[in-house]
Amino acid sequence: MPYLFTSESVSEGHPDKVADQISDALIDNFLAFDAESKVACETLVTTGQVILAGEVKSKAYLDVQKIARDVINKIGYTKGEYMFDGASCGVLSAIHEQSPDINQGVDRKDRQEQGAGDQGMMFGYATVETENYMPLALDLAHALLLELAVIRREMSEIKYLRPDAKSQVTLEYDDNNQPTRIDAIVISTQHDDFDEEARMLDKIKHDMISILIPRVKAKYPNYAHLFNDHIKYHINPTGKFVIGGPHGDTGLTGRKIIVDTYGGKGAHGGGAFSGKDPSKVDRSAAYATRHIAKNLVAAGVCNEVLVQVSYAIGVAQPMGIYVNTYGTTKVKLNDGEIAAKVEQIFNMTPYAIETRFKLRNPIYSETAAYGHFGKQNEVVTKTFTAPDGTVITKQVELFTWEKLDYVDQVKAAFGL
């Protein structure tokens, strides 16, 4: 029987995402000047105010106010009328030194024996549904807001857009779990004030359907047929959306973990990513399990897979690895046997994960909006400036966990 499945996304100007981006900008700056930094940094944003809190062990000294303001300005909060802008907001720092009780469980004389920074379980997921092995509903939801941000910065076709926005996509699936059509699209976008609310709503709805949707549809040639004339559109369904961003709602780091991962497909261990250095397995092991899942699917082991790993704080070896192929396996092994092979192929100790994915580099700002997975692996050059004027330029590789560099090893192990 056909069924519906929905995923949502939020823009870089959503208050929770503003907080995530500030936290990850701090991580990048700490790692740029001291690759061994241990950081757990939370951010709160509200009307005209940014509050930073957390624990840090680092040789680096940062101008956290400037870093926060630069992020806010880059997002697009640059006008006083937004009641939150990079030039005038207050920035309060309550960052302090990391507890030695926690640190003693992580650091080891032999780096390869480095313990997990916390207990917990992490999940990775992949599917053949899209070219980037991501769930289609989430991929479309991200694409809508990424394109909306491009349009906002172009200031050509639509001139009234403000940074805060949300999207939601509902797909219909058939009995074979194949998407057959888009049932509904929800877009709520912050905007400049209009003289007449009715005219405003009509114009925004017209622009979203006639300008935004065709641009997104063009990015999905394989799924163009899903964009039909019967899609239910809910564009700014509550009406006026002038007050938004941190002035409309308080934002906190780590409140969009489903947007950050798989849009409700698969599972989530509960730990947020942003603001955490890679010794925190909430982040690093979630990246590693995504890498496993993606390489398994790309190698042809299965069409869909969920991979779980779990840790005890201070212990290097994981408690165990779990695999669920949802009945899509293409090899003559059950899920337990597949998991056993995965343990042999992938070293999942925290130090091995950090090393394999080059995680002690400043690569995290790019993860903090529109999802941590499904992005393009690429090498970029980034520049950081310390309060004393020291400038560091680094060439770093982004989204290393999206590489299909273990496909050959997986195929060999499974006889494919």
Judge if 203 and 286 occupy the same domain.
no
- Choosing from 243, 277, 299, the residue where a domain stops is 243
Provide the annotated binding site for L-methionine: 55, 98, 249, 280
How many domains does one find in the chain? 2
Domain membership of residue 332 (yes or no) is: yes
Domain that holds residue 369: 120-128+265-414
Judge if 233 and 276 occupy the same domain.
no
The pTM is what?
A: 0.95
Tally Cβ neighbours within 10 Å of residue 183: 18
Provide the annotated binding site for ATP: 14, 164-166, 240-241, 249, 255-256, 272, 276
Residue ranges in 93-190 assigned as alpha helix (H): 100-103, 136-154
How high is the pLDDT of residue 115?
A: 73
Nearby residues of 132 by Cβ (< 8 Å), 6 or more positions away: 139, 374, 375, 402
**Rounded CA separation 18/328 (Å):** 38
Judge if 124 and 140 occupy the same domain.
no
- The four Cα atoms 299, 303, 304, 310 give a dihedral, to 10 degrees, of -30
How high is the pLDDT of residue 114?
A: 76
How high is the pLDDT of residue 1?
A: 85
Provide the annotated binding site for K(+): 42
Strand, helix or coil at 212?
helix
How high is the pLDDT of residue 112?
A: 62
Domain membership of residue 347 (yes or no) is: yes
Domain membership of residue 328 (yes or no) is: yes
DSSP assignment of 266-284, as one string? S---S---TTB-TTSHHHH
User: What is the token pair recorded at 344?
Assistant: 């042999």
Tally Cβ neighbours within 10 Å of residue 79: 14
Domain membership of residue 94 (yes or no) is: no
How high is the pLDDT of residue 280?
A: 93
Judge if 271 and 395 occupy the same domain.
yes
Domain membership of residue 398 (yes or no) is: yes
Judge if 236 and 273 occupy the same domain.
no
Provide the annotated binding site for Mg(2+): 16
Please list, residue by residue across 301-320, b when 16 or more beta carbons sit within 10 angstroms of its beta carbon and e when fewer do.
Answer: bbbbbbbbbbbeebebebee
Provide the annotated binding site: 14, 16, 42, 55, 98, 164-166, 240-241, 249, 255-256, 272, 276, 280
Beta-sheet pairing, 90-97 with 49-57: parallel
Displacement of CA 367 from its chain's centroid (Å):
5
Judge if 225 and 293 occupy the same domain.
no
**Rounded CA separation 41/275 (Å):** 5
How high is the pLDDT of residue 207?
A: 97
Judge if 124 and 149 occupy the same domain.
no
Judge if 147 and 200 occupy the same domain.
yes
Judge if 356 and 378 occupy the same domain.
yes
- Choosing from 243, 278, 302, the residue where a domain stops is 243
Judge if 238 and 273 occupy the same domain.
no
Domain membership of residue 62 (yes or no) is: no
Domain membership of residue 329 (yes or no) is: yes
Judge if 307 and 407 occupy the same domain.
yes
Domain membership of residue 391 (yes or no) is: yes
How high is the pLDDT of residue 99?
A: 61
**CATH number (domain holding residue 401):** 3.30.300.10
Judge if 300 and 395 occupy the same domain.
yes
- Choosing from 211, 243, 275, the residue where a domain stops is 243
Walk along the chain (416 residues) in steps of 10 and give the mean pLDDT of each run: 96 98 98 96 97 95 96 95 94 83 55 75 97 98 98 92 98 95 97 87 95 96 93 94 94 98 95 95 97 98 98 90 97 97 96 96 98 97 95 97 98 96
